[in-house]
Structure 1
Amino acid sequence: MIFDDDNPEWTEKDFRDTRSPHEVLPPHILAAFPRTRGPQKAALKVPVSIRLSPEVVDYFKAGGPGWQRRIDEALRKVAGVDTP
């Protein structure tokens, strides 16, 4: 293992002592990162690992941002599940 004095491995105490950026950063710094999502209100989706053909992934990614949502919509349609 390589040890870096400038970036040591975090300990359990380090993780316990973490604070939200809103608690420690001034407003002008926070304003530089306006596109944060914030905490998820409820787990609406389940993270999974799925293997898809490159052509399918390329097709959905070609549509730009939101490609995972579009895959979900296509699968919901095939499954006959109402959209939320």
Structure 2
Amino acid sequence: MGDDFFQRAELHVPPKQAVTMRLDADVLSWFKEQGQGYQTRINKLLRAYMLAHQRRRP
């Protein structure tokens, strides 16, 4: 792909929404121990779960 493609390309990222969520303390601690970006990793896992379950629907 040439420079022209990348100059015209647009990045579409789903909007984020702040939420309050109750997680088990040990689960949250484990994710935080993995370092910066733990909320993004939790989001990716939830998205993977969502997509897996969407595919199962008839």
Judge same fold: TM > 0.5, yes or no: yes
**Within the alignment, does 1:75 sit opposite 2:46 as a pair?**
yes
Structure 1 residues 34-45: aligned runs within 5 Å: 44-45=15-16
Dislocated runs of 4+, deviation >3 Å: none
AA at the equivalent of 1:64: G
**Within the alignment, does 1:53 sit opposite 2:24 as a pair?**
yes
Structure 1 unaligned regions, length at least 5: 1-41
Q: Deviations over 1:17-55 (max 9, x none)?
A: xxxxxxxxxxxxxxxxxxxxxxxxx88201110000011
Aligned-CA RMSD value: 1.9
Identity %: 35
Provide closer, same or farther for how the CA distance between residues 43 and 79 of structure 1 changes in structure 2, counting only shifts above 3 A.
closer
Structure 2 unaligned regions, length at least 5: 1-12, 53-58
Tell me which structure has the larger Cα radius of gyration.
1
